[in-house]
Amino acid sequence: MEDEYSEYREYLGEGMRIEIGIPLSGGGVFRDWAEVSEGNQDELVVQISRDVLPSEVRFDIGFILDVSVRVGVDVYTCSGIVIEKLGGRVLRIRLFGSFTLRERRQFFRIELGMRVKYDIIDESLRRDVERDWEVRKEHEHMKFQGYDDYVIAAQMARFRPAKPIEWQDLLRAQLNLGGGGVCLRIPQKVQPEQLMNLELHLPLDPPRVVHTVVRVIHIKPPRQLKDGSYRYDTGMQFDLLDERDRDLIFKQISVAQIEHLRKIADKRELGDVDGYGRRKLTPRQILARLAWVAVLLLLTWALTRFLSNYSPSNEIEKTYEQSLKKYRHQD
């Protein structure tokens, strides 16, 4: 019977050579080979092959990586998160998700629910779209950096939007978020190459808002809801995105995945406790206890046999008979 880790054992094992993808803060992914030195369920200990990594490549606990293995001519990829650094090149990684055969993505993705605002851009000039985005982005960064409201208002008053924005507010949007783009479920059908303004309200601590302009790449067939309305899963690529905001997206992905792993760990711990709050025994512990019980029963049986054959009264009777025979012989 297969367990939840059987898929990982199918693709990974000690001594195997795998590929690790590490996200770069400026965008893109650095890839290097690594060797699996230890594997346990959904955890791997790997050693990166290079002695010295490029200066722009860094990773820490909580970083999302991808783990790729080659099977024949195909590449299967799974996501992972760094849970421990055992040395400069040695990492302990916990896998999540499934190995899938796919083209390599530039960034990592995760399913999330958050507030999103979007606006469909009409036939505005590219330079106007970019300038309006710059203003919104700098406005948000100034708020987070603690500038006075009057200073921010004076700075923003210098710019007049080329086109008023009509935001569509999705309070609890379901989306697939990555450093390269987003797949968002919206109630309107748009066309490929359509530009859209987007606000991502990241539930970080403190909360942050990312302003970006996206370009529609693909639209999936519509989904009909119970009320008869339709929703369209729309894949979008970031067309204008500040690298500081891309780092925030990576941070949100890491925070969400760590929280998910914590819930899984809590669930596993609860599953190991019986109804009386006692920790359940593993199959190996059960077998060991049964073996000790069998040994005790065997010792008890042997001791009973010995005691049943030994009786103090029999010894006294034998001694009396020997003494009587000796007395008669003397007579």
Closest Cα to residue 66, out of 6, 39, 15, 106? 106
| % of the chain at pLDDT higher than 70 | 78
Q: Is residue 313 part of a domain?
A: no
User: Residue 106 pLDDT more than 50?
Assistant: no
Question: Which of 230, 263, 296 corresponds to the end of one domain?
Answer: 263
Q: What is the pLDDT of residues 23-55, one digit of tens each?
A: 776 566 788 888 888 887 788 898 888 777 777
Q: Cα–Cα distance between 91 and 105 in angstroms, integer? A: 22
- Predicted model pTM: 0.54
pLDDT of 211: 94
- DSSP state letters, 237-252: EEEE--HHHHHHHHHH
pLDDT of 118: 94
pLDDT of 179: 76
Weakest mean pLDDT among 2-6, 199-203, 240-244: 2-6
Q: Is residue 30 part of a domain?
A: yes
Write out the H or E segment, with its range, that includes residue 288: helix 283-309
Question: Which of 68, 85, 106 corresponds to the end of one domain?
Answer: 106
Q: What is the pLDDT of residues 155-173, one digit of tens each?
A: 777 777 778 888 999 988 8
The count of structural domains within the chain is: 3
Q: Is residue 231 part of a domain?
A: yes
CATH of the domain at 228: 2.40.10.220
Residues 46 and 169 in one domain: no
Q: Cα–Cα distance between 171 and 10 in angstroms, integer? A: 41
8, 41 in Cβ contact below 8 A? yes
Q: In the structure, what pLDDT confidence band is assigned to residue 154 with cuts at 50, 70 and 90?
A: confident
Q: Are strands 17-23 and 64-71 parallel, antiparallel or unpaired?
A: antiparallel
Residues 115 and 204 in one domain: yes
Residues 27 and 70 in one domain: yes
Q: Which domain holds residue 220?
A: 110-263
Average pLDDT over residues 138-145: 83
Residues 145 and 258 in one domain: yes
Residues 124 and 241 in one domain: yes
